[in-house]
Structure 1
């Protein structure tokens, strides 16, 4: 992690070496700030950097003046040697310290000269002007977009909206109950917190992104006959990008306050939740593309979008090594057998749910199987592949998805983030699976950000056979605790297999980690409902519960969780 955004002058480096987050080792202490104050460490941190003067008192509750902001931001951004052009302020004398820092702050664009030619160094500064100055000093301005909507409601029509938006997504401020309070005055302690967060990642606040990991569902527009605007931002000031008629149904993939994130024509937009009602919609599975006939059940065939390219569809081309002792059990009600690995190839037979076949080789999504009349090809997604000898996981393509990451830390408590816990456990699962001979694929192996779509696309691109997403729970009540595992039956064509896998992993975690049983649940989480193989989402425990937190923050239990997930996969692949 890069700790500093700007180089700090050489004379300060030695002073920084002894600073340990959570335990300030400043050589002095302001007499009017006790260690119990939330800003204690940050104030002494910026004092160590000489951004504020070491003195007997800091006066944390005093209102901040424009002269203070000018000096502190010039120093914090390492611009003390910046050569500012000569300026005339009618209330500042050239050659003074206040003039020097004021002229630099104005020339750098942090603060503005007053219309009457004054600087007003002793005027108290409001949060709006401070926010603008801080954003400019640390280059934190952030355009308001669907990906980074304005989360502070009272800034939606403000001239500094994008600057304050930048502070929010940089972890500098979360405002007060969803508002920034631009016209309030700022105290010295508040500004110290902001500057420390801008300088050092240790002090940053976790960024709360619009909800994108919750279940997805369908909502019906209920307006009493009026049209409903779809906007590009979660606010009435957002541009209208589409209109929905009363009674129309849309898919909801997230939420930002009272606004719902919906998919319209393949793009994200926002509608106000007040004018919607959740509904149940039957959606055909991605693989159900064969034509129904009155005489037979719907067939499951290979999805066209995932069809391997074959230059000569009438001729078998298979250079993959043959397999020994691999059996596939059909998981669809009816599965076509093709002459060659192509959706346009002739159908030479059909298989029924539960039927087992000998698998001769695998090539991408295609499984070459032995039939009574020779060989044929079927789509691998609708087979549960089991080894008849050796480790049941050998050769299986398993995606381990560590939830959250990067700019999305997930739930947090006592400086422990969900993204850290999930990656720790995921890497341990990876090691165990590799040792067993599985082809294990990690959606992320470091602290990077991935969208939900990127995670499911990754699984499909790599011909995954199972998908396990690892998460940590959180709740408003500290009493909530325990493990729960989810599968999806709304659109995932392998819902039955997903449920079996969920039960195996769930029971293994309960036994291994002695967790409270919160059950196996059917829910429309994005990464499992948009998968077409056995896919589960594991909630290890509640980071907001003291008992679960002790386990989630422990490497010993990270190993126990990983072993439990591994054993759950072993049990799933061992079952016929």
Structure 2
């Protein structure tokens, strides 16, 4: 059989992945071998509907073959389809086992240029049939989305079979802590992944992360929505809408620089920079023309006589005629508008609005008691990190899971003593998964979420407290920042910790919440000074009291 026939069969039969696809919203079970009960059902339907992968027509049925090992060629095609990059058409192949000018060649040459190969070739072969391991998948996905893998290189993993010294550890750790890899992959650290499992990884990554800009020309002026002036010097221009990594910085601009704006979303402006799309923080830009007008703010009730006020934390918050999104809207609240809360049932607050009764989703209301304890009746979720099989960071005889549980239990006691309803994601040495922790908060209609952790670093000189928030679509991230700042400052001041600041990071447990959520790193267990405080009962009480006071301060402001 000729090499050309092998490659043609690979594309037509084995890969079964379209080069281009139209995304739809259908979630119909199109594959005969992927029932709705299959663990990868949703992911496989996503990659099919998004045009990332196809199937096999056999015997009048469309099959996906989820249990078949995913190959290098399949993984490469799915990943580049997810990124949406323009493929390189080359008359010469870089690999002896990939036909030049073939459909596969376009993907392989593009992946080579983007450094998205599982490993660099030393014999001019791509090995398209070779299976892809979890390590391989973690490597190429992390690279594709410019993830900050060094940040997660010292984070603990509850997986057996991979040590922190493994060169792939940082890639698996990154995807785990960002919610792409979950506990179902725990036994696959040194194993190959199948088509179903790779679909889960690629679907989660594609929905969580924005692909870096790949040099695509900016659209015509007719698609410009406005123009802005930059208000500061040395502002970073980035290839993706995140400041959590530095590898996406493509340039710097100074005060007075003018940009055309093509999108305005979640605090980032999509602009034209050197002929390609790029992103700048909206915080440091001022519209000259074209800013999208905001809906008129309705007049709230003149007086509020009930014991609780709800302050809107987002713009465009719908007030509905009943407790559910299926009820009609009777008005809109914008950020800072206040309504009197009559009662709360699950996620819905019954409120007085323009002399009428309405219902608002309470996740977008900051509930403020007008007398007594600021936290009375508030549902606060406390999440002691790690636990059970996952000890977290370790130094000498100290473990992260034990330290944070002690602190969390004391936070719980202080909050409950002041009338709060406290939900713990774990109360003993157990291990709820990251997904379980999110579900616990949701099932208990939480109103604030605080995840407590201990830090670690390869350098013993790293020390101090830092607190994280996340920005996700539709999120009231300004509330996250406030809560993070109050807690962080309390710990720094009361425990005399080095202040590492409030930072943005898409940790799974805070990135998947619809309530104000933060993750606090009390200190570094790898630093002698910090560790001495973390294992000291007096300081444990100080840490707990500081978190409690930070939450109270949030509700008092």
Calculate the TM-score normalised by the size of structure 2. 0.51
- Name the counterpart of 1:537: 519
CA shift at 1:210, angstroms? 5.2
CA shift at 1:508, angstroms? 0.3
- Name the counterpart of 1:475: 457
- Aligned-partner Cα distance in 2 for 1:478–1:248: 37
Deviations 1:508-543 (A, max 9, x none): 001110000100001111111111111000000000
Deviations 1:440-497 (A, max 9, x none): 1100000001111111111111111100000000000000000000001234612110
CA separation of 1:413 and 1:333: change in aligned 2, threshold 3 A: same
Match of 1:216 among 171, 178, 190: 178
Q: Does 1:389 align with 2:371?
A: yes
What is the total number of aligned residue pairs between the two structures?
A: 320
SS at match of 2:483: helix
Larger Rg: 1
Match of 1:439 among 421, 438, 444: 421
Q: Is the 8 A contact 1:328 1:386 kept in 2?
A: yes
Match of 1:365 among 347, 365, 380: 347
CA shift at 1:435, angstroms? 0.1
Point out where structure 1 has 5 or more consecutive residues left out of the alignment. 1-144, 150-167, 180-206, 219-229, 255-277, 286-293, 300-322
- Which aligned pairs between 1:294-373 and structure 2 lie closer than 5 A? 297=294, 324-373=306-355
- Name the counterpart of 1:547: 529
CA separation of 1:389 and 1:495: change in aligned 2, threshold 3 A: same
Calculate the TM-score normalised by the size of structure 1. 0.50
Q: Is the 8 A contact 1:398 1:464 kept in 2?
A: yes
- Name the counterpart of 2:205: 250
CA shift at 1:433, angstroms? 0.3
Q: Does 1:511 align with 2:493?
A: yes
- Name the counterpart of 2:445: 463
CA separation of 1:243 and 1:393: change in aligned 2, threshold 3 A: closer
CA shift at 1:352, angstroms? 1.3
Point out where structure 2 has 5 or more consecutive residues left out of the alignment. 1-132, 138-156, 210-238, 243-262, 267-290, 297-304
Q: Is the 8 A contact 1:213 1:452 kept in 2?
A: no
Q: Is the 8 A contact 1:368 1:376 kept in 2?
A: yes
- Aligned-partner Cα distance in 1 for 2:357–2:165: 65
Deviations 1:217-256 (A, max 9, x none): 99xxxxxxxxxxx999455744444778xx99935999xx
- Aligned-partner Cα distance in 2 for 1:369–1:529: 28
Q: Is the 8 A contact 1:231 1:239 kept in 2?
A: no
- Aligned-partner Cα distance in 2 for 1:410–1:295: 46
- Aligned-partner Cα distance in 2 for 1:381–1:408: 31
| Structure 1 residue ranges (4+ consecutive) displaced by more than 6 angstroms after TM superposition | 168-171, 173-176, 281-285
- Aligned-partner Cα distance in 2 for 1:146–1:540: 32
- Aligned-partner Cα distance in 1 for 2:188–2:387: 24
- Name the counterpart of 1:420: 402
